[in-house]
């Protein structure tokens, strides 16, 4: 009989962060409805809570020596879900400047930025499945480029949420961040392909069950 999965505090916080994605999506979808301008600040606050909990679960996992395969899965899952839904909504609806009485100012995430963000994660998922099927070996571990990419993507989402309140000289900050995020997504995807190909070649004849697969956000 398999041992029961123990939910320590790091995993509980990660699960809470995953659950926070749903209300974050609802808020983003209602941002542009009349009389809902204040929701943008709720979105910023909820984003901040998720960011702090992301740091907290990692800190507790190290401090309490409470790391587990479940935690290695849940921690990046929360970030990926948040980025996935945010880039789609921000590309389709964008952010309206609620400080503009005519509501004419709007910032939309370019479609190519959303495609790059989602495409990188699709490459990771497809590569994971191919490696698992071809070698039977799994081990999730972080990649530095993937961590940088996730961080800049999250900063891009945050910069768009606060964009209406940025001073004119900082108006281009979201644009600079989404360009950097796209470049990092491309580099991270190439890194995954390179390492995944090397692992597949190295591990294809080894005993199943103890291999490696790159994961950028753990």
**Rounded Cα distance, 196 and 212, in Å:** 8
**Rounded Cα distance, 89 and 81, in Å:** 12
Q: Which of 64-68, 89-93, 206-210 has the highest mean pLDDT?
A: 89-93
pLDDT score of 208: 47
pLDDT score of 209: 46
pLDDT score of 19: 93
pLDDT per position as a tens digit, 166-207: 998 998 999 999 999 999 999 998 988 887 777 767 765 555
**203 in Cβ contact with 137 (< 8 Å):** yes
Cross-strand pairs, 140: 213
Q: Supply the Cα-derived Rg of the chain in whole angstroms.
A: 19
Taking the domains of the chain in order of start, what are their residue ranges?
9-215
pLDDT per position as a tens digit, 14-62: 899 999 999 999 999 888 776 667 888 999 999 999 988 988 888 888 8
DSSP run (H or E) holding 76:
helix 69-92
Q: Which of 126, 137, 159, 151 is nearest to 203 (CA)?
A: 137
Pick the CATH number of 9-215 from 1.10.3720.10, 1.20.120.1760, 2.60.40.10, 3.10.20.90: 1.20.120.1760
pLDDT score of 210: 46
């Amino acid at each position: 009989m398999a041992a029961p999965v123990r939910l320590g505090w790091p995993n509980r916080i990660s699960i809470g962060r995953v659950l926070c994605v749903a209300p974050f999506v609802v808020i983003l979808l209602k941002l542009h409805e009349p009389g809902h301008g204040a929701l943008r600040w709720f979105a910023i606050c909820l984003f901040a809570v998720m960011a702090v909990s992301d740091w907290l679960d990692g800190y507790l996992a190290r401090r309490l020596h409470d790391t587990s395969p479940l935690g290695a899965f849940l921690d990046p899952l929360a970030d990926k879900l948040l980025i996935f839904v945010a880039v789609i909504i921000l590309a389709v609806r964008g952010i309206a400047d609620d400080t503009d009485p005519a509501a004419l100012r709007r910032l939309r995430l370019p479609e190519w930025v959303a495609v790059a963000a989602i495409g990188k994660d699709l490459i990771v998922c497809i590569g994971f499945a191919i490696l698992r099927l071809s070698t039977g070996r799994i081990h999730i571990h972080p990649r530095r480029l993937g961590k940088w990419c996730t961080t800049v993507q999250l900063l891009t989402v945050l910069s768009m949420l606060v964009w209406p309140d940025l001073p004119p000289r900082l108006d281009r900050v979201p644009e600079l961040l989404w360009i950097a995020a796209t470049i990092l997504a491309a580099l991270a995807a190439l890194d995954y392909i390179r390492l995944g190909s090397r692992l597949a070649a190295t591990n294809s004849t080894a005993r199943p069950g103890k291999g490696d697969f790159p994961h950028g956000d753990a």
